[in-house]
């Protein structure tokens, strides 16, 4: 009797999986990080299995799609198969209009979930150009480079009021006057600056600047 019950249960599992296009997922959650963005910005979409007929979802296929697309957004799939944590990811990039977008993740079993992303007013970044100028602090102690990021929108106009994140593989970012640290906001000319201090270090450095999902870099020599 027990053997017969086991066979029946096993057959039932295979039947459910076959009816669901090979998927055993019965429930899924979907999240967006962040769920509020400006035009042109990105969000990481994560689909996670919350229930399965077999308990083993590794490798099961997820389909990501835009159910509502008011902003003109795009989706780029990172992995469309569930990993060992039962997760699959995609990158959402908002379009150039304000609005509400809805992303859906679905499985062959019929399990599906949606997440809403609100797109606010902002600047669609078109280009970032980096320049480096020799710099010595007013005290004469710091020796390094003034890194200037010139940011334009998708029409080639200066992009004011956007945040630029600088990073480097050598040295530290110093403070002097209104320029301080590794984060800066562009002025009305679309310019943001950082001060790279290479005093006490060996060799040159590479500096990266990131705005709205776009990253560029410049190499500087030792000082």
Chain region(s) in the chain for CATH 2.60.40.10: 25-120, 125-220
CA-angle at 163, arms to 125 and 119, nearest 5°: 60
The CATH classification of domain 25-120, taken from the options 2.70.98.30, 3.40.50.970, 3.30.1120.10, 2.60.40.10: 2.60.40.10
Smallest CA-to-CA distance from 96 within 161, 155, 150, 151 is with 155
| Interatomic CA distance for residues 12 and 29, integer angstroms | 25
Residue 10 confidence (pLDDT): 38
List CB contacts of 63: < 8 A, sequence separation 6 or more. Answer: 80, 105, 106, 107
Q: Which 3-state string (H, E, C) describes 78-129?
A: EECECCCCCEEEEEEECCCCCEEEEEEEECCCCCEEEEEEEEECCCCEEEEE
Residue 39 confidence (pLDDT): 84
The residue length of the chain stands at 223
The residue whose two tokens read 């280009």 is 127
> Within a 13 Å sphere around the CA of 4, how many CA atoms are in the beta-carbon half?
1
Residue 141 confidence (pLDDT): 67
pLDDT means per 10 residues in the chain (223 residues)?
41 42 87 91 95 91 96 94 96 90 96 94 85 84 90 90 95 94 96 94 94 90 84
Cα-flanking dihedrals φ and ψ of residue 218, to 5°?
Answer: -140, 140
Q: What is the largest CA-CA distance in the chain?
A: 89
Beta strands in the chain (DSSP E): 25-33, 36-38, 42-52, 63-69, 74-79, 87-93, 99-106, 112-120, 125-136, 143-153, 163-168, 172-176, 179-180, 183-185, 191-197, 205-211, 214-220
Residue 21 confidence (pLDDT): 53
Please give the CATH superfamily to which domain 125-220 belongs: Immunoglobulins (2.60.40.10)
Structure tokens at 81: 């198969």
CA-angle at 30, arms to 24 and 36, nearest 5°: 170
Check residue 187 and report its DSSP letter.
Answer: -
Question: What is the pTM assigned to this prediction?
Answer: 0.54
């Amino acid at each position: 009797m027990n053997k017969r019950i086991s066979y029946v249960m096993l057959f039932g599992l295979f039947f459910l999986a076959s009816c669901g296009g090979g998927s055993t997922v019965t429930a899924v959650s979907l999240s967006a990080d962040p769920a509020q963005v400006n035009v042109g910005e990105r969000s990481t979409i994560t689909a996670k299995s919350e229930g399965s007929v077999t308990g083993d979802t590794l490798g099961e296929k997820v389909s990501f799609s835009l159910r509502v697309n008011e902003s003109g957004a795009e989706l780029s799939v990172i992995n469309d198969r569930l990993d060992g944590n039962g997760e699959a990811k995609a990158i959402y990039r908002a379009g150039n209009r304000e609005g509400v977008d809805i992303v859906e993740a679905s499985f062959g079993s019929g399990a599906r979930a949606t997440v809403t992303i609100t797109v606010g007013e902002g600047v669609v970044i078109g280009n970032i150009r980096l320049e480096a100028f020799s710099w010595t602090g007013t005290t004469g102690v710091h020796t390094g480079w003034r890194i200037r990021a010139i940011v334009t929108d998708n029409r080639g106009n200066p992009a004011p009021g956007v945040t630029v994140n600088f990073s480097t593989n050598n040295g530290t970012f110093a403070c002097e006057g209104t320029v301080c640290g590794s984060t800066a906001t562009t002025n009305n000319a679309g310019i943001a600056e950082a001060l790279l201090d290479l005093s006490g270090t060996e060799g040159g450095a590479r500096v990266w600047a990131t705005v709205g999902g776009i990253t560029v870099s410049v190499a500087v020599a030792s000082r």
